[in-house]
Structure 1
Amino acid sequence: MTRALNVLSKICLFASSFSLVLLVVIFGWLVFGRYVLNVTPTWVEQLSLLLVGYIAFVGSATGVHENSHLGVTLFREMLGSPFCEIASALADLILAAFGIVMMVACLELMRFGWSTNLPMLNIPESFRTLPALLCGGFTCLFAGTRGVLQIIQLFHTADASDERSL
């Protein structure tokens, strides 16, 4: 299971990185079109706004998986060994719950925006909400799995120490 999540995280990282490269390329085309061809491609602005969403949200889901996202761990680490592990598992489960809420809210936004097209791109407005929905789902999956595995490990460690004391 961990291997499958690692592969999924790498796919997210690749998609985010590819979006960043595509963003640089289309801005290069914007500069070339505006200053060399004297014809400004108007679709670049809309596509760049769309790509920034994918870069930020899908990339942040990878950060959740790799546990490199922004977090305040000072108080958790001050608790000591058993309480630190419990607080870490609890934080991951809360983060997973946040991911579910984010995913459900974005699903509603996607339904609302499906009938409206993005200007210049002629694709549904919902494609702007899709990266946030994906981020919520991946955050729930990555953090939830890590939280559940930490809880299982805590109970397994507690059972092993009980058997040793007998």
Structure 2
Amino acid sequence: MKNRLLRINDRIYMACIWIAGLAVLGVALIIPWGIFARYVLGTGSSWPEPTAILLMLVFTFVGAAASYRAGAHMSVAMVTDRLPPTVRRLVGLFSQLLMATICLFMTLWGTKLCLSTWNQFMSAMPTLRVGITYMPIPIGGLLTLVFVVEKLVLGDQSNRRVVRFDLVEESEGAA
């Protein structure tokens, strides 16, 4: 059961990395187009800036979830590193519970934000609902919550190597 949960979370983690990476790539392609259209073609497009902002939201919240699982998220451990091991574990548990609380807040209130702005449309992109632009907040909160629960239940996975899925499934099928 533990291995199955880890494999599922490995897939979620890899999906987060790919989504965040593609969002950054999208920004890197869209911004130059906006500049080219404005200064070379002489007609500014209205969609590049809001699209780049939306992709940055996706990168920020989905990338933060992946970063959390990888143990690469910002942390200041100067004080906790000097604590006795028992106190360090208690502070770590408290920290994870606070993180879970923040994730629940992001998920619940982010969902309410999406629902309350669902019937509004962006002025720069009239076909795009404002509620959609806020969706990275609850999705990122939920994804991070999954990784917080994983850390609480199964331990820190940041030093575990993520194996290729096709090799894992083939070896399991042969057994």
Matches within 5 A, 1:48-87: 48-87=52-91
Match of 1:98, SS state, is: helix
Following superposition, the deviation at residue 37 of structure 1 comes to: 1.7
**Larger helix proportion, structure 1 or 2?**
1
My pick for the range that moved more, 8-17 or 27-36, is 27-36
Large movers: runs of 4+ above 4 Å: none
Following superposition, the deviation at residue 101 of structure 1 comes to: 1.2
Equivalence for 1:157: none
Equivalence for 2:141: 136
| One-letter code aligned to 2:39 | Y
| CA distance in structure 1 between the aligned counterparts of 2:148 and 2:83, rounded to whole angstroms | 21
State the TM-score, normalizing by the size of structure 1: 0.83
| CA distance in structure 1 between the aligned counterparts of 2:65 and 2:42, rounded to whole angstroms | 40
- Paired positions, count: 150
Give the share of equivalent positions with the same residue, in percent: 21
My pick for the range that moved more, 82-91 or 131-140, is 82-91
My pick for the range that moved more, 73-82 or 140-149, is 73-82
Equivalence for 1:32: 36
Following superposition, the deviation at residue 89 of structure 1 comes to: 2.8
State the TM-score, normalizing by the size of structure 2: 0.79
Segments of 5+ residues of structure 1 without an aligned counterpart are 151-166
Equivalence for 2:92: 88
Of 97, 100, 125, the match for 2:104: 100
Following superposition, the deviation at residue 110 of structure 1 comes to: 0.6
| CA distance in structure 1 between the aligned counterparts of 2:91 and 2:9, rounded to whole angstroms | 22
Superposition CA RMSD, Å: 1.5
| One-letter code aligned to 2:16 | C
**Deviation readout 1:18-66 (Å, 9 max, x if unpaired):** 0111111111211221222221111111111211111111111111111
| CA distance in structure 2 between the aligned counterparts of 1:20 and 1:149, rounded to whole angstroms | 31
| CA distance in structure 2 between the aligned counterparts of 1:87 and 1:6, rounded to whole angstroms | 26
Does 1:10 pair with 2:11?
no
Match of 1:114, SS state, is: coil
Equivalence for 1:154: none
| CA distance in structure 1 between the aligned counterparts of 2:7 and 2:89, rounded to whole angstroms | 22
Segments of 5+ residues of structure 2 without an aligned counterpart are 156-175
